[in-house]
A and B are shown apart, each in its own frame.
Chain A
Amino acid sequence: MAKQGSPRRSDDMVEIDLRNAGLAAFLAWLWPGAGHLYQRRYAKGILLMAVVLSMYFFGLFLGQGHVVYASWTPTDKRWQYLCQLGTGLPALPALLQARRVFGEPKQPPLWNGFMAPPEQPVRPESPDELAEWHERLSYRFELGTLYTMIAGLLNILAIYDAYAGPFGANEEEEESDNSDKDSDS
């Protein structure tokens, strides 16, 4: 693992200054690409931001704002949200909505139900709001969920890149160090 702030050499033989790697990783989680922009890796930051956010928001659009929500009730464990949470800030409104719906005192969701959990209780055997979303959105609900999950998972790769540099950079560096030593001896 690279020391914080130490320059890294990728396989493209480019020196990379990771600056404060922990802060960069946090920023990369908070807003996709922001960690790379903080490290002045502008092209990569913009590329990651464009790819991750466009996938996330396209998925959200397909699911009409219902595919990202936080719920962990016995009948509706939304484990997909754990993957979606990888995109950081864009997925956080779901936590606020869940707090309003499940917290005490219960409050109606904000923003016309955007990213809010379905009306409780969710009953698997009978019609409820979740079933209505599935019926109305059809395959778009699954596709929207898939897009937003993949966006979150891809951002985890980006977070690692912000923290430790490109995969394989360590081995390249060690190999080049070893070959330098061999040539010296």
Chain B
Amino acid sequence: MIHAALVGQSSFLLWHAIPIVIGISLVYGATRHELMGHILYSAYRTALWILGFVAVIAVVLAVISWMV
């Protein structure tokens, strides 16, 4: 019961990462490019990269947690 509640709260907190990822990607793209199309494409790629990186870390931590 407590475990389910903790997992529920963790997943709720994870949603707060979405605006941060979008914000960082857009500003990073804006500091690399000048045209809006290039900025948005760069932001899209950066967001995918960040999410992929976070997903890999999450999987590694999950595996370690499962093994211990």
Among candidates B19, B24, B34, residue contacting A16 with C-beta atoms closer than 8 Å: B34
Let me know if B34 and A41 touch, CB within 8 A. yes
Flag whether A44 is at the interface (Cβ < 8 A): yes
Give A147 to B30 CA distance when docked, in angstroms: 19
Interface residues in B17-68 by Cβ distance below 8 A to A read 19-20, 22-24, 26-28, 30-36, 38-39
Let me know if A52 and B34 touch, CB within 8 A. no
Let me know if A157 and B27 touch, CB within 8 A. yes
Among candidates B13, B20, B28, B38, residue contacting A147 with C-beta atoms closer than 8 Å: B20
Q: Please, which residue of chain B has its CB at the minimum distance from the CB of A41? A: B34
Flag whether A135 is at the interface (Cβ < 8 A): no
List residues of chain A with CB within 8 A of the CB of B38: 11-12
Let me know if A150 and B23 touch, CB within 8 A. yes
A interface majority secondary structure: helix
Given known A-B contacts A44-B39, A47-B39, A150-B20, A160 and B26 have beta carbons under 8 A apart: no
B interface majority secondary structure: helix
Given known A-B contacts A44-B39, A55-B19, A147-B20, A158 and B30 have beta carbons under 8 A apart: yes
Let me know if B31 and A160 touch, CB within 8 A. yes
List residues of chain B with CB within 8 A of the CB of A157: 27-28, 31
Q: Please, which residue of chain B has its CB at the minimum distance from the CB of A50? A: B26
Q: Please, which residue of chain B has its CB at the minimum distance from the CB of A150? A: B20
Flag whether A72 is at the interface (Cβ < 8 A): no
B interface, CB within 8 angstroms of A: 13, 16, 19-20, 22-24, 26-28, 30-36, 38-39
12 examples of A-B residue contacts, CB within 8 angstroms: A10-B34, A14-B35, A16-B34, A47-B39, A51-B22, A51-B23, A51-B26, A54-B19, A154-B23, A157-B28, A158-B31, A167-B31
A interface, CB within 8 angstroms of B: 10-12, 14, 16, 41, 43-44, 47-48, 51-52, 54-55, 58, 139, 143, 146-147, 150-151, 154, 157-158, 160-161, 166-168
Give 4 nearest A-B pairs by CB, closest first: A10-B34, A154-B27, A12-B35, A161-B31
